[in-house]
Amino acid sequence: MNLIPLGRLYDFMGARRLFMAISLAAFFAALVGLFAPGLGLKLGTDFKGGTEVEVAFTGKVSSTEVENAVKASGFSHPDVIRVDDANNASHYIVRVQEVSTISPEKQAEVEKSLCVGEGQPADCTPNRTATEVKFSPGGDKITVRFRDAPDMAFIKERIAGVGGLMLRPGANNPSLQSERDNKVEIQLMSKGDQLMAGLRDKLGADKVPAEPLRSEWIGPKAGAQLRDAALKAVLISIVFIMAYIAFRFDLRFAPGAVFALVHDAVTVLGFLVLVRREVNLTTVAAILTIVGYSINDTVIVYDRVRENLGRLRGRTFRSLVNLSVSEMLNRTLLASGTTIVSLTGLFVFGTGTLKDFALTLIVGITLGTYSSIYVALPFTDWLDHTFFAKVGKGKKIGQTRKAEAPAV
């Protein structure tokens, strides 16, 4: 299948200055968007921490009603995102900054309430004095050991009096896990559970389901570590790609390929800032996929340029680029077009993170195809004429010995 007539020669390099100017403008505009006050990346829970629940409400509610209910439940700075769902117009992702982990300060307050440490009040009798208190990493369970048989009513009363903690409903909570060791387990409601309980209380049980579709949380420290790891993954991949291109082809080809990759990654992030899509681990996976796809397309075009450099020694480098890209144009359009058509289906029919993943890839693959022609090759041509000119007559790779073939 040929979308472009075979043997047709196009003058891609004739418009290189215009397209390089457009590319640089888009690149620097994206950089401004990434760091300008009031803009910047909209980081997801993966990177900034917080609690996130996805709820398909059983009754009709607006995003404003959901946000007001979350605030009334004691959560600060809620973020309510409507999910495109043909089957349910009241499908939302609710995100809050609070996390289920129990802070060191709150842990100390719990220990004090369970008579741990010195200077306890008179009601801290031996059967009420805990010898060991352990907190689960998820902040939804506390395990306590006592010297004597524990007073369950006293434990429940003391934990209920600690602000910010909520006991999970149930007659057997706290529960005695080991009579021999006087070990008690206290089940707490996670922030996701508290959020759902607050929505149910404010909006009514007829509109709020018993369980969310999804509930996730991540601490701010872990989010920062994930963010740093994601950035390192992208940078390391670009460095190794540059080394591969320099080894596989020639040192002068590597900077153009790397600049094209950086251009694609930064411009895609700028697009996400423009449309206010959030950046999370799924987005990073999409960007790494874009980097791999873009370099694959660039390597194929570079390989044809190198092949023509050895076969047609009488042509200028620019005429060889025109010829090489024209020869590979059908392959490039078919490969990119097929991939984009497949991703369009995911974007149209997908929801949530799948839709964002597909959108990021569509924009990135389009940019990767464009940058292989109008970023990597013009940059390589500029390097060739500026830094790699031959000594003597100042001629470059593929110096002119014959008249160039006409281009359209």
**CB 274, CB 34: distance < 8 Å:** no
Band (222; pLDDT cuts 50, 70, 90)? low
Dump pLDDT digits (tens) for 260-316.
Answer: 888 988 999 999 888 888 787 788 888 888 888 888 888 888 888 888 877 777 777
Residue type, 396: K
Dump pLDDT digits (tens) for 183-220.
Answer: 888 888 778 888 888 898 889 888 888 888 888 777 65
pLDDT at 406: 46
Whole-number Å distance between alpha carbons of 150 and 346:
56
CATH topology of domain 104-189: Gyrase A; domain 2 (3.30.1360)
Task: Please give the share of the chain, as a percent, with pLDDT higher than 90.
Answer: 5
CATH 3.30.70.3220 applies to domain 50-95+193-216 = yes
Whole-number Å distance between alpha carbons of 83 and 75:
21
**CB 34, CB 269: distance < 8 Å:** yes
Whole-number Å distance between alpha carbons of 371 and 389:
24
Class of domain 13-43+219-386: mainly alpha
pLDDT at 393: 42
Sequence ranges of the domains in the chain: 13-43+219-386, 50-95+193-216, 104-189
pLDDT at 3: 63
Whole-number Å distance between alpha carbons of 55 and 57:
6
Question: Within 10 A of 43 (CB to CB), how many other CB atoms are there?
Answer: 16
pLDDT at 389: 56
Helix (H) / strand (E) element for 256: namely: helix 254-274
394, pLDDT greater than 50: no
User: pTM for the whole thing?
Assistant: 0.67
Over residues 132-146, the mean pLDDT reads 82
Dump pLDDT digits (tens) for 8-42.
Answer: 787 888 888 898 899 999 999 999 988 887 778 87
